[in-house]
Chains A and B, each alone.
Chain A
Amino acid sequence: MVGAAVNGREEVLARLRAARGAQPREPAEVPRDYRPAGATVDLDLLVDRLTDYRATVHRCAEPEVPGVVDAVLGGRRIVIPPALPRRWLPASVTAVTDDNLTTEEIAATDGVVTAAAVAVAETGTIVLDGAPDQGRRVITLLPDVHLCVLRAEQVVAGVPDAVARLDPRRPLTWISGPSATSDIELNRVEGVHGPRNLHVVLLAP
């Protein structure tokens, strides 16, 4: 048990220092000649990219949101995050607020309605950051329908814009279309473990 005298941490670090050469280096200058953040946002591109990956997009003004929710989830039982604006919900849905519901309780709902933190037009991606109008990660995972309400000013042009806007200390979920797999003959098939239906309501600017 010679190795027992040295713990794994010191051993790994010593190996890596010996391999790299003991002298620590200054951070290198990384060439970042790719397109930076700050390009003009193209909402039509977002819609196009979301649709391309089988998300259903609804564009409307905010007062019309309950109508969309009704069309998608009317008559169903849904879970909502604690601070979801209630004005978005029609009377036709039964909304259960996630107040530390059990996974079984969440799994038993038909859908979930949330807001979002950021959306990336170029990739058709929505990012949730666990804010009170988006809730815990689990509520957007177990129900089969996820309806996400997006404000136009939350849309950014590209990935660098999104990274700049997000706070890495929050739990982040980047969502690009419904759950999918490419495991069968490398063809994309929508609908495995996450919600099989993703609806994005894009509010008019």
Chain B
Amino acid sequence: MSRTFLGMPATAPRGVGHLRGEEPFPAAARRGLADPQLRRNLGHATTTIRAKSGAVIGELPDWQALRAAGSAIKADVLARLPELLEQLEAAVTAAGGTVHWAADAVEANRIVTDLVAATGSDRVIKVKSMATQEIGLNEALEAAGIAAVETDLAELIVQLGEDRPSHILVPAIHRNRAEIREIFLRAMPGVDPSLTDDPPALAAAARRFLRETFLATRVAVSGVNFAVAETGTLAVVESEGNGRMCLTLPETLITVMGVEKVVPTWRDLEVFLQLLPRASTGERMNPYTSMWTGVTPGDGPQAFHLVLLDNGRSAVLADEVGRQALHCIRCSACLNVCPVYERTGGHAYGSVYPGPIGAVLSPQLTGVEDNASLPYASTLCGACYDACPVKINIPELLVHLRDQVPHPRSEAAAMAAAAYVMDRPALYAAAQRAARLSRLAGRRGRGLPPPLSGWTIGRDLPQPPPRTFREWWAQR
């Protein structure tokens, strides 16, 4: 493990959580590419969501102004992050909540596990949360003998299918209705064997399955979409009502929040509540948004704990260019428009944060050396930047991170040689002629050595022209 210095920005520790893949992106991508069912499922789902999102965004005449405001608010948050967190802590505490601070995944898992253990409960219900997936909370709870029940339909599909999430918003996006039916029939206790693959029937099966658990579990764990520093108000944006169940029914609520989720003022929610649903599920508003401030006597959990999580965010903040990745509101619009994601699926990215935002966030949270292939998992086509509701310039970040990645020695040598030649026009012209005459590559480049041979798996090289442009120009 890398050495960390007290009080200095630090990346997320190794050996805990889900920010690092087991293999580089190109290798992991091959599995997704080779799965035609996955490709069809993803193609269908992303096409659907792009159309829905485009339609409801088109209804707003001021979408670009909202994006600009959202981006400016997030930039302001990062500039004042320590002060805003202290303000949030004071407001939550004043409203009857307890605030905990976790420098990394290990500390956060320990804090939550201790809090659950103190209640005496051996089970928690969970509302989908990227932060708790990031830190591997379910595994930590399980090691302490506490069962974590995911209550979001997609998370349930993933949990019952012994699978991994592949999308931020729709973790089971890689599954179609027929596959979901199979999983339910195989793994859902007490399921009706005549279950069809009709989506309302599948949703009803999940409702029946989880109802008892909701009513009987005394502790819930959630993430949070927004936390208002001035009032201590937290907001969870969801669709199914499982979030409301978790936030309302238990006696104890534990919320784990990445520090960047804070927003300065209550009014700021007027921006994000317009941006998030339209960019995310393509709805004018998601079915349910719950907001709570500390503890409300007689209504909802009477014990509330907020865990503020760093886990590499301070390292991201330390990079003046890279920090804009912390603007992310986890809408997953960038995944839905990404031509790379659409073909490889989310598992190829290794981290709980897939797609374009994952390609810039995961390497920064872990340090680029631990996710060195991710900044290259993009053609820099820019569709993600256009789709981002808070205007994260993902292509710029990808290029910025590529500059920090440890480069293969042969590539570095070739790049240095190319730059040397290109800075000397006479050498450059000679190299152009040499390339034309040599035809080293053989017919249409099919004899190229690796890694250049990658080109010719599905493409021919152009035939070198009889003369370069500058030769033509000189002869005019």
Contacts and interface: CB of A to CB of B under 8 A. Distances in A.
A126 B313 CA distance: 36
Contact of A123 (B203, B259, B285, B315): B285
Contact of B100 (A2, A8, A28): A8
Given A33-B62, A189-B200, A6 B76 contact: no
B290 interface: yes
Interface string A159-193: 11011100011111111111111111111111111
A3 interface: yes
A160 B270 contact: yes
Contact of B288 (A11, A159, A174): A174
A110 interface: no
Given A8-B100, A14-B7, A34 B298 contact: no
Interface in B66-116: 66, 68-69, 72-73, 75-76, 78-83, 85-86, 95, 100-103, 107, 111
Contact of A24 (B80, B100, B240): B80
B7 A11 contact: yes
Interface in A74-103: 100, 103
A125 B81 contact: no
B340 interface: no
B242 interface: yes
Interface residues of B, number: 105
A2 to B, nearest CB: 7
A1 interface: no
A28 B72 contact: yes
Interface string B252-286: 00000001000010111111011000000101111
> Looking at A28, A49, A130, which has the most chain B CB atoms within 10 Å of its CB?
A28
Interface stretch (A15-23, A56-64, A65-73, A147-155): A15-23
> Looking at B82, B86, B102, which has the most chain A CB atoms within 10 Å of its CB?
B82
Contact of B45 (A13, A33, A138, A185): A185
A15 B314 contact: yes
> Looking at B244, B269, B271, which has the most chain A CB atoms within 10 Å of its CB?
B244
A20 B6 contact: no
B215 interface: yes
A6 B6 contact: yes
A12 B103 contact: yes
Given A19-B318, A30-B76, A171-B299, A159 B283 contact: no
Given A15-B103, A28-B76, 4 more contacts: A3-B103, A9-B101, A172-B290, A194-B287
